[in-house]
Amino acid sequence: MIQTLEWTERGVRFIDQTKLPTEEVYVDCTTYQEVADVIRNMVVRGAPAIGVAAAMGIALGVKNSKAESAGELRRELDHICDVIGKTRPTAVNLFWAIRRMQQKFEAVRMLPAQQIKQALIEEAQRMHAEDIAINRAMGRHGSALMPASGGVLTHCNAGALATAGYGTALGVIRAAIEDGKKIHVYADETRPFLQGSRLTAWELMKDGIATTVISDNMSGAMMRQGKIGAVIVGADRIAANGDVANKIGTYTVAVLAKEHNIPFYVAAPISTIDLATPDGSEIPIEQRNPAEVTHIAGKAIAPEGVGVENPAFDVTPAKYVTAIVTERGIARPPYDQSLATLADDASQPTSTAS
């Protein structure tokens, strides 16, 4: 079992995703500032994992606090949430996790400071456990969408490493394989950060799942050759109308899938659905350091001074999305209705703070 992140006696421990697949090393954060740094530097990445990391970072900051009253603790909590909220702008799970921790604080603020701290630590750990359960539920729903056999393309890493465990898109693939389907995964390498070749391939090989790495620009050729029966990806934020923000290149894959009449699925927890954002045009897209594009492993691969674009995400309009798999079931177009229904369904087990 891959431990993407875990709460320890000392603080929060992360597998260092910048070092995989050649080195399996762990980073121990003992302050919330260090947790903010590992989110910013992509030691941990993936929307659900960022959410749990944020919650644990907040719990760690609160645990380290010397505050003796709820009022004092609240001022510190606000500052901690502010710092962690500025790490990465696109994944809505970050803000969802911050809100949930703030709401937990409100719910227990009448208790002594020590008990408030303990409640927040437990809440972060609960979110970790819930995330794995959510992914398993997503897998059960999504498995039926996967082909009985053949190639399934995924982009970036929406796996155990992008979550507390099991994965969203890769969780659906894992569940399909547990159900006896003979799936061969095609993993786009996903430049510039190479989450596909470095992380998806690594965790699938650990599970003995057949995996082929391709350069991002090969997916069109693979589809045209009939090697891809379905595409499944994760999401960093899903707008109310079903527009999906996800790792840069997802939109390209979605267009290719449409051109080849291949279903394009998104797997994401309810916490990724942002009903407050009406459509994708309002999702902030993080621009990252140009050096991610111009350098690989410290070596320059572009002339010095050249212009660079490095948006970390793109938006895939809802019209390209065949279905969205959540822990509460599968949403289909029209998404404004189906997503609202799923998100509001209070009869279902939920990970939201409502």
Q: Please give the residue ranges that form the binding site for its own copies (CB under 8 A).
A: 21-22, 155, 188-192, 194, 197-198, 201-202, 205, 210-222, 224, 248-249, 251-253, 255-256, 258-259, 293-294, 296-303, 305-311, 314-315
In whole angstroms, the minimum distance from the beta carbon of 271 to its own copies comes to 25
Query: How far apart are the C-alpha atoms of 283 and 227, rounded to whole Å?
Result: 33
**Does the active-site annotation cover 236?**
yes
Which residue's CB is nearer to its own copies, number 109 or number 191? 191
In whole angstroms, the minimum distance from the beta carbon of 193 to its own copies comes to 10
What separation in angstroms does the CA of 62 have from each of 87, 91, 153? 18, 23, 41
CB atoms within 10 A of CB 22: 9
Which residue's CB is nearer to its own copies, number 9 or number 23? 23
Q: Can you name the residues that pair with 267 across neighbouring β-strands?
A: 325
Which residue's CB is nearer to its own copies, number 9 or number 309? 309
Find the catalytic residue in 131, 188, 216, 236.
236
In whole angstroms, the minimum distance from the beta carbon of 74 to its own copies comes to 41
In whole angstroms, the minimum distance from the beta carbon of 308 to its own copies comes to 5
Residue 52 · residue 97 · CB < 8 Å: yes
Which residue's CB is nearer to its own copies, number 83 or number 293? 293
Cα 189 to chain center, whole Å? 17
Which residue's CB is nearer to its own copies, number 133 or number 296? 296
Residue 351 · residue 269 · CB < 8 Å: yes
The closest of 343, 340, 329, 354 to 241, measured between CA atoms, is 340
What is the side-by-side order of every strand in the sheet holding 26-29?
5-7, 12-15, 26-29
In whole angstroms, the minimum distance from the beta carbon of 157 to its own copies comes to 12
302: part of which helix (H) or strand (E)?
A: none
**Which residues form the catalytic set?**
236
